[in-house]
Amino acid sequence: MDTLLVAVLSFFGFIVAYRTYGRWLSEKVFRLDDGRPVPAVELQDGADFVPTKRSVVFGHHFTSIAGTGPIVGPAIAVFWGWLPALLWVVLGSIFIGAVHDFGALVVSLRNQGKTVGELSGKYISPRARFIFLVILFFALTIVLGVFGLVIAIIFSLYPETVLSVWLEVPIAVVIGWWAYKKGGDLLLPSLVALGLMYGAIYVGCYYLPIDLTQLLGIPLFSQSVVNSVVIWTAVLFVYCSIASVLPVWALLQPRDYINSHQLVVALGLLVLGLTAAGVTGQAQLMETAPAVAQQIPADAPPIFPFLFVTIACGAVSGFHCLVSSGTSSKQLACETDAQSVGYGAMLLEGALAVIVILCCCSGLGMGQWDRVVEGNQYSYKARVDESGERILGAKAWQTHYAAVVKVKNEDGTVTEKGGWSSHSLAKKIGGFVEGGANFLSTLGLPIKLSIAIIAVLVASFAATTLDTATRLQRYVVTELGRTVNFTALENKYVATGVAVVAGLLVAMVPGANGPGSGGLILWPLFGAVNQLLAGLAFMVVAFFLKKNERPVFFMVPPAVLMLVMPAWAMTWRMFNGTSGWLATGNYLLLTFGSVILVLQALMVWEGVRIMRKVTPKSESISR
């Protein structure tokens, strides 16, 4: 029952927060008004500015901001125990993340749908705008690399997901044409699409898994330049380069809309499975995983500050300000929809992160699974220990999270196995997939189909973010080109090419198993840059409020936290003892981190310098 109790209390907290704190922000701080013109109507162009129903924008916004961030981050962070991760997700979502997303959306709505990067020039200074754009470019490059890598890993580890994820593309194109060109209703087509996609999961699971390791004889991970993860990553970036230049109604909106339905169904199944497992006593959170881990390997980063950058999406994420101000603000047909889209979608993402924490702890404790391949068929068998007994409960969690274990060798010596260095991005994703599948199995679903449903959930979330991030990076590259008077970058095809190539290069950072396996190396870097971006976005929103004589006190603590913690984490990564990037000779990441820290310092200094000169303007927030 403890698993169910944690879930219920967390969800109740999100609902109360939306009705109280969210309403206060909406009515008293930002003063949303149905009568105020919105960019989607004033600047409607049929491509980027398209007035859209709230439900459609919410679907696009939620699936775009969620991605795999609230999955991978918590799946790594429970390494330190489930309680710190849970507290950061719940409190962070309510008081930091949702405020950040909501604020960025409103500021953009009041400024013709301009991005936060552009608005930093208006509300702080032109120099701050250039600095912000450069940081945005770095942040989005990492987002593209990491999220592309996550999808490629899912496709490689779980071939049964490929058919369903790719089927979404032609379905979305048809629905976009039907809704935008023919003015058709979305309800029936979206229900048909939902049925087709879940049917494709079944077909891919039992009849048509698309496995490059078998079709082309390409290994999953290897030291070779080409492996299945590398190929899938390249294919995904080719797709993104096409999707990012199409009108939003042609693919982005309908895909996110129908995908949101699929994801809601999967999340609903997870909640039902979690409930069943909790009521029947099959899932025991406190007996499976430590609330606060006591055995932390020496090679692991400290919980402070790394908890705050490991869990980014799910608590607060700087990437969200780009979605709010880059795409969602250009689609809202009514200003009062901003509370639902900006504040509400972030709380839903927090709920997803809570579910992930429970899957990776109590769900994983219900058993682990090994894939068995026979020809073109896959099956799963329960993982057992050396004595043949099934690995369950605390042992399952400890085995997966690789706490240091002393092993006696044949010669009598004792060595340590496990530790932070034994982790991989694929292993962490697998923890959520297996734990979530265990919850679904309590509903009577076969474990094979359950694993396929959860794996598609991960890939679909990541795919929607990859689409949106590529489009956003195109905007950023274009703005940078305009700022430095390099006109070639103002061409959307050239800008898209720069975005895609940069993301692909980052995705190919090598790890222990060659190209495409360095995801866990990139994740802390992604978290640190992402959270720095959130801190800078808070600065822009604070300047907007101050200029309009609105309260800013509630934004100061989140802004300080999001500037200090990421900088602290980045500095630790760069200069820590024998494991820092300087000590290990990782000069590429060292240079990357140094540039980001310098840019942040310049941005903060620019803000402090200008803040003293800020005076209220006639540009009233209630206008």
Q: List pLDDT tens digits, range 108-118.
A: 999 999 988 88
**Residue 250: what pLDDT?**
87
**Residue 239: what pLDDT?**
92
Q: Are 445 and 299 in contact (CB under 8 A)?
A: no
52 DSSP β-pair partners: 332
Q: If you average pLDDT over every residue of the chain, what do you get?
A: 87
Residue 19's pLDDT band (cuts 50, 70, 90) = very high
pLDDT digits (tens, 9 = 90+) for 280-331: 989 999 999 999 988 777 777 899 999 999 998 899 999 899 899 988 999 9
Query: How many other C-beta atoms lie within 10 A of the C-beta of residue 430?
Result: 23
Residue 623's pLDDT band (cuts 50, 70, 90) = very low
Whether pLDDT at 568 is above 80: yes
Rounded average pLDDT over 340-362 = 96
Rounded average pLDDT over 507-528 = 69
Q: What is the DSSP letter of 328?
A: G
Nearest of 276, 198, 233 to residue 515 by alpha carbon:
233
Distance CA 219, CA 221 (A): 6
DSSP string, 135-201: HHHHHHHHHHHHHHHHHHHHHHH-GGGHHHHHHHHHHHHHHHIIIIIS---SHHHHHHHHHHHHHHH
Over its C-alpha atoms, the chain yields an Rg (Å, rounded) of: 23
pLDDT digits (tens, 9 = 90+) for 430-448: 899 999 999 999 999 999 9
**Residue 413: what pLDDT?**
67
**Residue 225: what pLDDT?**
60
Q: Which amino acid is at 105?
A: L
Query: How many other C-beta atoms lie within 10 A of the C-beta of residue 619?
Result: 12
This prediction has a pTM of 0.89
Residue 343's pLDDT band (cuts 50, 70, 90) = very high
Distance CA 463, CA 161 (A): 12
Cα Dmax for the chain: 80
Query: Phi/psi at 349 (nearest 5 deg)?
Result: -65, -40
| More confident call, 242 vs 523 | 242
Residue 506's pLDDT band (cuts 50, 70, 90) = confident
Q: Are 522 and 146 in contact (CB under 8 A)?
A: yes
**Residue 24: what pLDDT?**
97
Q: Are 201 and 456 in contact (CB under 8 A)?
A: yes
Report the share of the chain in percent with pLDDT over 90: 46
Q: Three-class SS string for 72-93?
A: HHHHHHHHHCHHHHHHHHHHHH
Whether pLDDT at 513 is above 80: no
pLDDT digits (tens, 9 = 90+) for 370-416: 888 876 678 899 998 878 899 999 988 888 876 555 556 666 666 65
Residue 622's pLDDT band (cuts 50, 70, 90) = very low
**Residue 505: what pLDDT?**
84
Distance CA 21, CA 18 (A): 6
Dihedral angle computed from the Cα positions of residues 521, 525, 530 and 536, in that order, rounded to the nearest 10 degrees: 180
- The top-scoring range by mean pLDDT among 389-403, 508-522, 558-572 is 558-572
Distance CA 283, CA 274 (A): 8
Nearest of 538, 284, 552 to residue 393 by alpha carbon:
284
What is the Cβ-side half-sphere exposure of residue 141, based on CA atoms within 13 angstroms? 22
Q: Would strands 414-417 and 405-408 be described as parallel, antiparallel, or unpaired? A: antiparallel
What kind of fold does domain 2-376+423-611 have according to CATH? Amino acid/polyamine transporter I (1.20.1740)
| More confident call, 225 vs 169 | 169
**Residue 618: what pLDDT?**
43
Distance CA 230, CA 304 (A): 34
**Residue 619: what pLDDT?**
45
Q: Are 524 and 309 in contact (CB under 8 A)?
A: yes
Beta strands in 383-431 (DSSP E): 405-408, 414-417
For residue 594 the two structure tokens come to 């140094």
Least confident of 212-216, 526-530, 618-622: 618-622
